[in-house]
C-alpha cells in the first residue's frame, strides 16, 4: 500500500505538463484579479485588504480545482484504459487506492498554495500580524483540499468517459456557489443559507477566513470537513471495489 502511495506521488511529479498548469494557474489568476488592487485600502466591511482576501480565496480555489478536477479526470481515464481492472485483481483494499489518489493530489495542491502565497507576499506585499497565520493558513488550506481530492476519486468512479468533465464541473460550480465562495451567503434566502452553512466549500472557506482574522479555526468547520472526508472517502473506496460496469 505504501508502495502504491509512493508510486502515485512519483508519477504525478513526473507528469510535468499536469504539474506545471496545476501549480501555476491559481497564481496566474491571482495576479490577474488582485494585480491592480491597492495593497493598503481595506475591503468594505472588513479590516482586510483585497490582495490578502484574494490570496486566500485563490489558494483555496486553486487547490480545489487541482485535486477535484485532476483526480476525477485522471481516474476516469485510468478506468477506461483498464488499469483499474488490473489493479482490482490485486489484494489492495479500497481504502489503499483512495489514500494513494488523495496523497498524489495533495502533492499537487501544496505547491500551488505556496506559489500563490509567495506571489502575494512578493508582488502585493501581503503581510500578517503574526507569522503563525502563514503556517496555519497553508496547513488549513492544504488539509482541507484532501476532502475534495476524495470527492474527486468518487466522481471519477461515478462518471465515465466524456461525462466526467461536465459532471465534475457541475459539482464543482454547485459546491462553490452554494458554499458562498462566489457571493456572500447573506444574499441567499434563509433556507438556502441553512443549506450553505453545511457545504464543505463553506467550511473550507470559513477555515481560511478565521485564520486571516487572527482567530483559530472553528471546531464546527473542522468537524464538517472531517465528516465530508469520511463520506467522500468511504464512497470512493466502495465505488472502487464495486465498480463492475466499465471496471
Partner 1 sequence: MMEYMTTTAHMSTGDRHRTGSPVVSFTNVSKSFGDVRAVSELDLQLRAGETVALLGPNGAGKSSTLDLLLGLRNPDAGRVEVFGTTPQQAIARGKVGAMLQSGGLMEDVKVRELVKLACDLHPRAYPVDQVLEHADLRDIADRMVNKLSGGQEQRVRFALATAGANELVVLDEPTTGMDVSARQAFWGVMRAQARAGRAILFATHYLEEADAIADRVIVLHRGRVIADGSAAEIKAKAGARRIVFDLDGYIGEGALRELPFLSSLEISGRTVRIQSHDADATVHALYGLGLYPRNLEVAGLGLEQAFIAITDAATAEEAAK
Q: In angstroms, give the least distance from the CB of 68 to partner 1.
A: 21
**Which CB sits closer to partner 1, 165 or 241?**
241
For the CA atoms of 185, 154, 229, 217, what is the dihedral angle to 10 degrees? -40
Site for partner 1 in 25-64 (CB under 8 A): none
**Residue 83 engages partner 1 in binding (rule: CB under 8 A):** yes
Q: In angstroms, give the least distance from the CB of 4 to partner 1.
A: 6
**Which CB sits closer to partner 1, 57 or 72?**
72
Rg, the chain, Cα only: 18
Q: What angle do CA 145, 59, 62 make, to 5 degrees?
A: 70
Options 40, 45, 91, 190; binder of partner 1; rule CB under 8 A: 91
**Residue 15 engages partner 1 in binding (rule: CB under 8 A):** yes
Contacts of 122 (CB under 8 A, 6+ apart): none
Options 45, 89, 129, 186; binder of partner 1; rule CB under 8 A: 89
Q: In angstroms, give the least distance from the CB of 11 to partner 1.
A: 4
Binding segment for partner 1 (CB under 8 A), chosen from 82-90, 148-156, 209-217, 226-234, is 82-90
Rounded Cα–Cα distance for residues 109 and 66 (Å): 6
User: Is 36 in a helix, a strand, or coil?
Assistant: coil
For residue 151, what is its C-alpha cell? 470527492
**Which CB sits closer to partner 1, 218 or 243?**
243
User: How many of the chain's residues bind partner 1 (CB under 8 A)?
Assistant: 27
**Residue 131 engages partner 1 in binding (rule: CB under 8 A):** no
Residue among 232, 200, 236, 18 at smallest CA distance from 108: 18
B/e letters for 24-38, b = 16+ CB within 10 Å, e = fewer, are bbbbbbbbeebeeee
Tell me what percent of the chain is helix, strand and coil, each rounded to the nearest 5. 75, 0, 20
User: How long a stretch of residues is the chain?
Assistant: 247
Distance of CA 237 to the CA centre of its chain: 19
**Which CB sits closer to partner 1, 18 or 142?**
18
**Residue 17 engages partner 1 in binding (rule: CB under 8 A):** no
Options 22, 56, 88, 139; binder of partner 1; rule CB under 8 A: 88
Rounded Cα–Cα distance for residues 206 and 117 (Å): 18
Q: In angstroms, give the least distance from the CB of 83 to partner 1.
A: 4
Query: Which residues lie near partner 1 (CB under 8 A)?
Result: 1-4, 7, 10-12, 14-15, 78, 80-83, 85-93, 241, 244, 247
Amino acid at each position: 500500500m505504501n508502495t502504491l502511495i509512493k508510486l502515485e506521488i512519483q508519477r504525478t511529479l513526473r507528469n510535468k505538463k499536469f504539474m506545471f498548469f496545476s501549480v501555476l494557474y491559481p497564481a496566474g489568476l491571482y495576479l490577474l484579479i488582485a494585480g491592480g488592487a491597492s495593497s493598503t485600502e481595506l475591503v468594505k466591511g472588513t479590516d482586510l485588504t483585497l490582495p490578502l482576501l484574494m490570496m486566500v480565496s485563490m489558494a483555496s480555489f486553486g487547490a480545489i480545482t487541482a485535486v477535484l478536477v485532476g483526480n476525477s479526470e485522471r481516474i476516469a481515464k485510468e478506468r477506461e484504459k483498464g488499469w483499474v481492472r488490473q489493479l482490482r485483481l490485486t489484494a489492495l483494499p479500497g481504502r489503499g487506492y483512495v489514500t494513494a489518489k488523495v496523497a498524489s493530489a495533495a502533492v499537487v495542491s501544496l505547491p500551488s498554495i505556496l506559489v500563490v502565497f509567495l506571489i502575494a507576499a512578493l508582488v502585493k506585499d501581503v503581510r500578517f500580524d503574526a507569522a503563525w497565520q502563514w503556517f496555519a493558513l497553508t496547513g488549513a488550506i492544504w488539509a482541507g483540499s484532501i476532502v475534495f481530492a476524495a470527492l474527486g476519486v468518487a466522481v471519477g468512479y461515478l462518471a465515465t468517459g466524456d461525462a466526467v468533465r461536465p459532471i465534475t464541473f457541475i459539482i464543482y460550480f454547485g459546491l462553490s456557489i452554494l458554499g458562498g465562495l462566489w457571493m456572500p451567503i447573506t444574499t441567499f434566502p434563509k433556507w438556502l443559507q441553512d443549506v450553505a452553512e453545511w457545504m464543505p466549500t463553506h467550511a473550507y472557506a470559513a477555515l481560511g477566513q478565521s485564520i486571516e482574522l487572527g482567530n483559530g479555526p472553528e471546531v464546527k468547520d473542522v468537524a464538517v470537513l472531517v465528516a465530508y472526508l469520511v463520506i467522500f472517502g468511504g464512497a470512493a473506496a466502495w465505488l472502487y471495489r464495486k465498480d463492475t460496469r466499465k471496471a
